[in-house]
Amino acid sequence: MKYHIYALILGFLLDLIFGDPRILYHPICIIGNLISHGEKPFRKVFPKTEKGELTAGVFFCIFVVGVSTAVSFGLLYLARKISFLLYFALLTLWSFQILATKSLKTESMKVYDALKEGDLEKARHAVSMIVGRDTQSLSAEGVAKAAVETVAENSSDGVVAPLLFLALGGPTLGFFYKAVNTLDSMVGYKNDKYLYFGRFSAKLDDVLNYIPARVSGLLLVLASPLAGLNMANAWKIWRRDRRNHASPNSAQTESAAAGALEVQLAGDAWYFGRLYKKPTIGDPIRPVEYEDIRRMNRLMYAGVMLALVLVAAVAGAAGVLV
C-alpha cells in the first residue's frame, strides 16, 4: 500500500506542475468514449418504459464501472509482473491523470481572462466548457458566479474525492470513482432523455461523494485564512447553507466558498432551455466579480494541499509511509 501512497504524492505534485498535458491521451476520455458509444446498445436491449430505462441504466453503469476498474487492475497487475519500476511509474502516471487541480484552475482562469478583457461572449463560451447550465444569456456577474461555483464543486469532485479514493485503493479505486463521476456528468441529468436511464449513476455518485464532499467543505473552511479569506464567515455559511441544494453534496463546498468569499452563490439557473428554481447559498455582502474566480482558485489550492497533508498524516500514523 505504501507504494501507491508515494505514487499519489508524486502524482499530485506532477498535476500541480503540468496539469493535463495534451500529448497524453487522457484515460478519462476513454471512459467518456465508452459511455457515449455504449449508451445506445444498452438502450436498445430494454423496453422504452420507465422501468426499462431504469434497468438499462443500472446495467450500463455496472458495465462502464466494471470495465474501467477491471482494465486498470489488470494493467497494474501485468506491470508489476514485468517490472516494479514500470508498476510504480504507472501508479504515478494514473494518479497524476486522475487528479485535476491545475486543469480546473486553467479552465476557470480562461473565464477570468475573458471577463478581465471585457469580452462577455468569450467569457460565456469559456464558462460553457466547464458548467452544465445554459450560458448564452448570462451577465458578466452570472458568468463569474458560474465559474466560482464550478471550481468550488469540483474542488471535491475533481480533486479531494479522487485523492481520497486513490489513497484508499490506488488508481484502481481511483478509476472506479472517476467512472461513476463521469457517468453522472454525462447521463446523470434530470431531463427527458436521462431522467430514468441516468438515475442509478447519479445516485451512486451521490453515495460515493457523500463523505468526500463534507471533508472538502470543511477543508475549504479551514483553508480560508491560508487564502486570505474570511474563515469565520465560511464556517457560518457552511453550517447554515450546506444543504441548500437538490444534490446532497454540491452545497457542501459551495457554501464554504460563498462564506469565505462573502458572496451569494447558486439560485435559479437555466438548463437545456428550462428554468430550475434553486435556493441561494451565502449572503450577498457584495456582488460576485471576476476577481472572485482567482480568489476561489487560491482557496481551492489551499484546501487540496490540506487534503494531501491529511492523507499523508493518516498514512504516516498508520505506518504506511515507513
- Using an 8 Å Cβ cutoff, are 106 and 112 in contact? no
Distance CA 19, CA 301 (A): 13
CA distance 162 to 177: 7
pLDDT at 87: 96
162: Cβ–Cβ under 8 A, 6 or more apart, which residues? 98, 99, 100, 174, 177, 178, 181
pLDDT averaged over every residue in the chain: 92
Question: What's the pLDDT score for residue 1?
Answer: 61
For the stretch 190-230, pLDDT in tens is: 888 889 999 999 999 999 999 999 999 999 999 999 999 99
- Name residue 36's amino acid: S
Question: Environment class of residue 275 by beta-carbon count within 10 Å: exposed (0-12), middle (13-18) or buried (19+)?
Answer: exposed
Mean pLDDT of 110-115: 96
Single pTM value for the model: 0.92
Percent of the chain, pLDDT > 70? 97
- For 255-309, how does the pLDDT look when each residue is reduced to its tens digit (9 = 90+)? 999 999 999 998 877 776 677 788 899 999 999 999 999 999 999 999 999 999 9
Q: 172 in helix, strand or coil? A: helix
What's the confidence (pLDDT) of residue 272?
67
pLDDT (0 to 100) of residue 269: 74
Examine the pLDDT at 317 and tell me if it is beyond 80.
no
Percent of the chain past pLDDT 90, that is, above it, reads: 79
Q: Compute the distance between CA of residue 266 and CA of residue 269 in angstroms, rounded to an integer.
A: 8
CA distance 125 to 107: 11
- Backbone dihedral angles phi then psi of residue 274, each to the nearest 5 degrees: -120, 135
Locate the domains of the chain by residue range.
Answer: 2-317
